[in-house]
Amino acid sequence: MVAHVHPGFKSKEAAMDILPTTEDHEAFRTQLREFLAREVTPYADQWEKDRTVPRSIWRKMGQAGFLCMDVPRAYGGREGDFLYAAILAEEMSCTGINGLAASLHSDIVVPYLTAFGSEDQKRRYLPGCLSGEIVTAIAMTEPGAGSDLAGLATLAEEDGDTVVLNGTKTFISNGLLCDLVIVAARDADLDNPHLGLSLYLVEDGTQGFTRGRHLEKMGWHSQDTAELFFTNCRIPMANRLGTKGYGFIMMMEKLQQERIVAAMGAVAAAERIMEWTIDFCTGHREGGQALSKHQAVQFAIVELLTEVKLGRTFIDKLTADHIEGRKVVVETSMAKYWTTEMAKRVADRCLDLLGPHAMRDDHPLARAFRDVRVMSIFAGTNEIMKGIAARFLRL
């Protein structure tokens, strides 16, 4: 077991060893960090301006073995545990951009295929997901249904050995780049809000599947977020993922991991923000002395670091429990809401500490401030998180 030093903190004393990382995990972290420093970080500003990332970076990540770490060996994967997801989320946050949605692909979308896919679907898609030839997306949200997934209106009608999809999805990450999208739809012949939804696999190029606008957002500029349209989109019946009518149950299961990944991203972002802020406050001189020599600045940093460390301890323990298969619905909902609110508080206060220096649009803290804002909204809003926790606590 290797004690892990979080990259957001420079002192070894900051190391925590809640997560049972091995030499293999640490070697993965080192290689990934070097790869991202070479292939991603230098291009971050350009990709933010482009409002997307190039397809080539997905292939490079895949070829280097940094995608879909948990895919079984039988399909060419590493069959790694969820700690690789934690490492990916942390190291991606060091790049300073969120547009390369590797965690979404590897630890949120592809796990649906691995868990619920037929043997044929796994053989058809998993090798491409690993190599980066296939970029994935998941389309749940609609103009009239996001929090309330039971209210989805996209319709799936069986016709012989095909299924015809009709409906509109919105706010879909990787929406423009994706080669394969998992679509949540209501089965026309099942009349049940929860046991009437199924998941379908739709490939790029399928007739009736079109993309809409690239949605301009206040943050996450390099991530393509788009509308998707399904108009008499006919797919083979064999493209249904898992059991008919079990879509809601599959989403409820996998949304847990999505929320843990979101919380990991929030804590990692807060750590990065603190690192930049401490660097600035110790290096920047006002009136002949470093900013960090002012008691007000010291207190602010100590208070913020305390919050970040609480978040780190919480998410690491939750990750360990998730890996052990414990029931963590309440803790996941709490972690998703608390860590994302914490990251927003940290970004806001650090912006004040840096003052005008962080006001430049291209400053990493300005970008982080914009980017953390959405974290309380996606993967289930924080109001919904509190509602789930309250329900499971039988309040």
**Does residue 94 touch ligand FAD according to CB under 6 A?**
no
**β-pair type (180-187, 197-203):** antiparallel
Residues recognised as catalytic: 258
By CB under 6 A, name the one of 141, 257, 333, 339 that touches ligand FAD: 141
Q: Which is nearer to ligand FAD, 176 or 351 (CB)?
A: 176
- Closest residue to ligand FAD, judged by C-beta, is 146
β-pair partners for 105 = none
**β-pair type (162-173, 225-236):** antiparallel
Chain positions 146 to 175 lying near ligand FAD, rule: CB under 6 A, are: 146-147, 171-173
DSSP letter at 152 equals: -
By CB under 6 A, name the one of 36, 139, 183, 241 that touches ligand FAD: 139
Q: How many residues bind ligand FAD (CB under 6 A)?
A: 21
191-200 core/surface letters (b: 16 or more CB in 10 A; e: else): eeeebbbbbb
Per DSSP, helices labelled H in the chain are 23-39, 44-50, 55-63, 83-93, 102-103, 110-116, 119-131, 247-283, 295-323, 329-354, 364-373, 382-392
> CA-to-CA distance for 305 and 307, rounded, in angstroms?
5
Supply the minimum distance, in Å, between the C-beta of residue 165 and ligand FAD: 15
By CB under 6 A, name the one of 71, 138, 261, 270 that touches ligand FAD: 138
By CB under 6 A, name the one of 95, 225, 257, 319 that touches ligand FAD: 225
> CA-to-CA distance for 278 and 290, rounded, in angstroms?
11
> CA-to-CA distance for 43 and 322, rounded, in angstroms?
34
Chain positions 328 to 387 lying near ligand FAD, rule: CB under 6 A, are: 374, 377-378, 380-381, 383-384, 387
Nearest 5 degrees, angle CA 134-CA 239-CA 206? 60
By CB under 6 A, name the one of 69, 140, 261, 366 that touches ligand FAD: 140
Supply the minimum distance, in Å, between the C-beta of residue 176 and ligand FAD: 12
Q: Which is nearer to ligand FAD, 142 or 316 (CB)?
A: 142
Task: Give the interface with ligand FAD as residue ranges (CB under 6 A).
Answer: 137-141, 146-147, 171-173, 217, 220, 225, 374, 377-378, 380-381, 383-384, 387
